[in-house]
Amino acid sequence: MKIAVLGCGRWGSFHAWYAQRIGHQVMLWGRKGSHHLADLQATRKNEYLTLPDTVELTDDLAKAVAFAEIVIISISAQKLREFCQQLKELPHLQQKRFVLCMKGLEIGTGKRLTTIMAEELGTEVRTAVWVGPGHVQDFVREIPNCMVIAAKEMQLTKELVAAFASPLIRFYYGEDLLGTEIGAAAKNVMGLAAGMLDGLNYSSLKGALMARGTRELSRLIEKMGGDKMTVYGLSHLGDYEATLFSPFSHNRCFGEDFIRGRSFAKLAEGVYTVEALMDIAREYQLELPICATVYAIIHEHKEPQEELLKLFLRDNKAELE
C-alpha cells in the first residue's frame, strides 16, 4: 500500500521506517524549513534510525497526501487543528484513511483529536488512532511490543490492523475510541507525576501512582460515556512502563527535570494535557486528585513536595470508590 507520514520528528520518522520495513511504499513529509527534514535529506539519518533510500522525502503536503491510501499524522497534538486548516484545502480526503499517531487533548476546549479531525475535515473523513507502549529506541533494536488501533467504526480498525501488523508490533482492536484517546492522553500526565516523584527521590511511590492514577482516569472515562475498563488496557496502563519508568520517556524526564530545576528544550505534551483534563473535570464535576496536583505544581507554581505528599494525607476511603 501507499503510506504518507506527515511529520518527520522522532515518531514520524519511525512510522515511515516501520511502514517501509513491512513492505509498504512510503513518502515522509516535513514542513518547509524543518531541521528534521533537512537532516534526513542530507544523511538519511537522525539520532534514532536510518531511513532506506526507498522512503521518499518531501516538503510538498499536497503531493504527500495525493500519493497515499493511508495518511499517518505524527505532529504536536496542539498543532492539529491548525494543520487541518491546511489539509482541508486538498482534494479527495474522503478517499483516504487517516491515522493519528500522537496523544493529547486540545487546551481551551478539552476536545479529543478525532473530534478535531471531524470538526475541521468533516465527519465523512475516516480517522483512527494508533497508541500504546513502545519507544523508538527499542523498536529499532528489534524489541517487539503490543499496541492498539481504535476508530469509531470497527471495519476501519480492522483494515488498519491488517495493514500494519507484523512480528515487531502486535496490534489489538480498540473497541472504545473515547476511552482510548482519553487514556492515552492522560498517561502523559501520570508520566509527569512519576518524574516528579523521581526528582524528589520518592520513586517507590510510583506503584501507588500507577494504581490510583488508573482508577482516577477510569472514573473520568465512565463519566464521559466511555468504558471504564479501557484505561486498564494498552492505551493507558499498558503504556505505564514506557512512561513512568523509562529513561526515554519525555514526560517522565520533564517531570524530574522540573523538580530538580534543570532546563528543558520544550514542554512535554502532558503539560498541555493536564490543563485540558482540569477543564473536563470541571465540566463533568469530577475530582481528579493526581491530575489536580500536577496542575497545581506546574501551572500554579505550588511547592512540589508539599502538594505530592497531600495525596497521601487524603481521607480514608474504599479503594474502588
Q: Write out the binding residues for sn-glycerol 3-phosphate.
A: 103, 132, 187, 239, 249, 251
Answer whether 74's CB lies under 8 Å from 17's CB.
Answer: no
Q: Tell me the DSSP string of 262-307.
A: ---SS--HHHHHHHHHHHHHHHHT---HHHHHHHHHHHS---HHHH
Evaluated on CA atoms 236, 237, 240, 244, the torsion sign reads positive
Q: How far apart are CA 232 and CA 180, in angstroms?
A: 10
Cross-strand pairs, 161: none
What cell was used for 59? Answer: 516538503
Where do the DSSP E strands lie in 54-121? 56-58, 70-73, 97-100
Catalytic residue among 45, 96, 152, 187: 187
Sheet holding 169-174, edge to edge: 56-58, 25-29, 2-6, 70-73, 97-100, 126-131, 145-151, 169-174
Q: How far apart are CA 136 and CA 170, in angstroms?
A: 15
DSSP H or E segment with residue 5: strand 2-6
Q: Confirm whether 2 is a catalytic residue.
A: no
Q: How far apart are CA 133 and CA 110, in angstroms?
A: 23
What cell was used for 269? Answer: 505534551
Cβ atoms within 10 Å of 310's Cβ, excluding its own: 14
Known binding positions = 7-12, 31-32, 48, 103, 132, 187, 239, 249, 251, 266, 269
Q: Tell me the DSSP string of 181-203.
A: HHHHHHHHHHHHHHHHHHHTT-G
Known binding positions for NAD(+) = 7-12, 266
Q: How far apart are CA 211 and CA 208, in angstroms?
A: 5
Known binding positions for NADPH = 11, 31-32, 48, 103, 269
> Which residues form the catalytic set?
187
